[in-house]
Amino acid sequence: MHCRTCGDKAVINMRQHKLALCKTHFLTWVPEQVERTIRRYRMFTHRDRLLVAVSGGKDSLSLWRIITGLGYTADGLYIGLGIDGGLAYSARSLQYAQSFAQQHQLFLHIVDVQTEYGETIPELAERTHRGRHKPCSVCGLTKRHVMNRLARQGSYDVLLTGHNLDDEAAILFGNTLNWVGSYLIRQAPVLEADRPGLARKVKPLCRMYEREMGAYALLAGIDYIHEECPFAAGSTSIYYKELLNKLESDRPGAKLSFYLSFLQASRSGLFSPSADERADLVHNCPECGQPTSAPGRCIFCRMFVVHEDKLEYNGIDLI
């Protein structure tokens, strides 16, 4: 197999694009694709201050590398979740994020959930009974809250996450299987800051296959945590990814066209807000200021109520 650009030996064959490339041309092709996505969806410009949420994994570290390589100014944010146990998953992923930042002389914010809010994610899940064995939903909610808070406090224009096409297609698959209209209308490459207290969020890797990002990290020499979060094993999102990969291997390009057709349908107004998405039901949490449709305080602020004695929020004692 030969590189389409120079004819040298190819290192990757992307059947979905009918494209094989050598290392040099693959390492220029990936940033070009990301830049096209940034422009196509009007994600941000060179004047914007960007905040990249970095988990220490291949996607978010590659994203940070790619956008700074393209000349954008971007700080990083790592959220310490306290998922440690025998594998020291959080401690090790922090090390990868920190050494990447040092190596490339980039600024990394570190928010440790236990230090700031008094409990690790597994402890929080246990106490609130919101997933004693699988803290993933509590974890997702906390990450979204912290990302939004940091983006606003630091006056960043845009928050970037490393979700790739496989992530987006798996989320979409779950949302269409269960036909969750309110999630479908909020799934997009760009989420505008259309409510007070909300940061603008974008996913510049949404058109990149996970396989392409894995190859990029490897070929670009990016050191990242290879293990998944220990709680991810057996998750529905991994199951959906496997199903979609089966489809993809028989029909190259199926994942991309599933996602892109959805975006097209979405633009043409196929999905409309459900009752709980209606703007008149959303208000700002009196505690943290972030938008919520829950009555009174948002779910995040309620989760921490029992530990008020330990809790300091944004530097203000709550009791």
Nearer Cβ to ligand FES, position 29 or 78? 78
Q: What is the dihedral of CA 308, 311, 314, 319, to 10 degrees?
A: 40
Site membership for ligand AMP, residue 79 (CB under 6 A): yes
d(CA 45, CA 158): 10
The reply on whether position 10 binds ligand AMP by CB under 6 A is: no
Q: What is the dihedral of CA 82, 87, 91, 92, to 10 degrees?
A: -140
> What is 172-198 written as a DSSP string?
HHHHHHTT-HHHHTT-SSEE---STT-
Site for ligand AMP (CB under 6 A): which residue of 82, 122, 162, 204?
A: 162
> Which residue has 């990447």 as its token pair?
100
Residue whose CB is less far from ligand FES, 233 or 275: 233
Nearest distance, CB of residue 81 and ligand FES, angstroms:
6
Report residue 235 as tokens.
């998750």
**Choice from 57, 82, 135, 204 touching ligand FES (CB under 6 A):** 135
Q: Give the nearer residue to ligand AMP in terms of CB position, either 171 or 247.
A: 171
Number of residues this chain uses to bind ligand AMP (CB under 6 A): 14
The residue count of the chain comes to 319
Q: Which amino acid is at 18?
A: K
Residue 292 touches ligand AMP, criterion: CB under 6 A: no
- The reply on whether position 25 binds Zn ion by CB under 5 A is yes
Helices within 178-282 (DSSP H only): 181-184, 210-219, 236-250, 254-267
Compute φ and ψ for 244, nearest 5 degrees. -65, -30
Residue 136 binding partner per list ligand FES, Zn ion, ligand AMP, none, with a CB distance cut-off of 5 to 8 Å that depends on partner kind: ligand FES
With binding defined as CB under 5 A, does residue 108 bind Zn ion? no
Regarding 238 and contact with ligand FES (CB under 6 A), the answer is: no
| Residue from 8, 9, 14, 7 nearest 213 by CA | 14
- Among the listed ranges 12-20, 35-43, 156-164, 210-218, the one in contact with ligand AMP (CB under 6 A) is 156-164
Pick from 191, 136, 139, 186: nearest CA to 300: 139
Q: Which does 38 bind (CB under 5 to 8 A by kind): ligand AMP, Zn ion, ligand FES, none?
A: none
Question: Which one of residues 6, 232, 243, 305 is an interface residue with ligand FES (CB under 6 A)?
Answer: 232
Q: What residues make contact with ligand FES under the rule CB under 6 A?
A: 81, 83, 135-136, 139, 229, 231-232
